[in-house]
Structure 1
Amino acid sequence: MTEEITYADLEFNKSYALENIPKPPTPEEKGLPTSSPWCLAALTLLTLCLALMVGLLALGVVFFQVTNICQEENVKLKEKEKALQTNFSSRLQEIRESLCFKGEAKNKNNGMSCTLCPTNWQRMGGDTCYYISSGKKTWEGSRTFCASQNSTLLMIKDKEKLDYIGQYFIKEMYWIGLSRKTERDGWFWEDTTALSTSEKGIFVYNEAKSCAFLRKKYIYASKGCNENSLWICEKAPIQLRLTDNQ
């Protein structure tokens, strides 16, 4: 009986001793760091920063490549532009020389330029282009047409021009740029200069109306301004430079 009690006491003491063994401290009790939302946020931010750096690096590489490509294309475009400019200049020079050679060209400045009349215009001596109409208009209608062509009705201010031009217009009557407001007023050319018969030897015959026309080597005013007739426009020729270095 004494031994059993002693064994029981031993077992009890053993259990009691085991229960009173101190437990190892937890991380919190040891003061060690633990996982928290701030740590997760910091890790996420670091990941984003790394991704951003990689993206920026990739963009830098792409930008550098694109810049090189653009520079190469720019060089090619400049070379093409230069070639086109050279071809254009050569072609333009050929056209200039062809026009001046085929047309009634008057060379100036040691052959560096020539003067030409527009299509359907002609030169009858001198440095003037003339348009001879094939249809008929009133004097005012003829005047309006000439103005639309940056020209005026024919003005004959000296006897030499009258004799020279008149030899081409023998059969028909052609309106010219000489008129007056009323039958009592004086005659004026289209550039507002007055007709000076005493100095130039030019006279108006049959002054019954207020608009003058040319026939042969004479100027008449026997036809009403509202009647239809042929007309003559005149203007300075176009000066065409054979080279650009002027």
Structure 2
Amino acid sequence: MSNQETLDSSLRFLQSPSESKNRLRPGGIQIPGKTDGKEFSVSWHLFVVTVGILCLLLLVTVRVLGTVIFQCIKEKHQQEEILRKLIPQYDSIRNNNYSKEQLLINKTLECGILKNQTLHQKKELDSLFMEKMRCHIKQEIFSKSLQSTGKFNEDHWSCCGVNCYYFTSENENWMGCKETCESYNLSLLKIDDEDELNFVQRQTYRDSYWIGLSYNATESKWKWIDSGMSSGINFKIMSLPSGRRGKCAFLSSIRIADIDCAKKYKCICEKRTDCDFTPCFN
């Protein structure tokens, strides 16, 4: 490259950009300097407008976001306020439910207790009814056709449970009653407990009857005909005096007392049967 070309390149480089642009325009017509300023002003105006629009959009976006956030915060506060008001109601409902559950449990327990009491009372009533049925008085008039087995004449039986009692109508001394009962495969009455005593006494009416209790002079004590003692009735015979040789016990509707065995009274014979509500004599 020659020195002239080098100089021309340097001059072109040192030229202003506006001159270079004018030189590059078609037709070689250069635009005056005022035209270059207008062009720069238009470009700057577009930039400012664009930035302004973006700022406006940003402001609108920020405002919208602020409004949404404010609404969310407001709704949150409202929900918290509603929740704060609902908590006492929830606690109250929970306490009421707990109270109702406890009440239901208590009522269930009471119902179970009442049910058990009802069943127990029903069993007691059934037991009393059966006892009443078992201990009903059987009074039978025996015909003369039974006289071959003994002197049953206008006598009666009373049964309670598995025991049947034969009340004679003839008066005999204590030994005679003992033999009469044994002749029928029976035995003179031995009282085992207070219930049996009360039942038998109700059948005696105004009469007195020999029972199977006599004073044993050898042992110096009162003994039943089976040589045993009835613990349930001891308090009744404790009033019978000791040292009563030749004395036997009789029973009336109000007491057990002793008298000379030769005295004549009616007899109460006893027989155990394993079948209720059936004739007591074999």
Of Structure 1 and Structure 2, the greater helix share is in 2
Q: Which has the higher contact order (CA 8 A, sep 6+)?
A: 1
Q: TM-score range by the shorter chain?
A: 0.3 to 0.5
Q: TM-score, normalised by structure 1?
A: 0.44
Radius of gyration: which is bigger? 2
Q: TM-score, normalised by structure 2?
A: 0.39
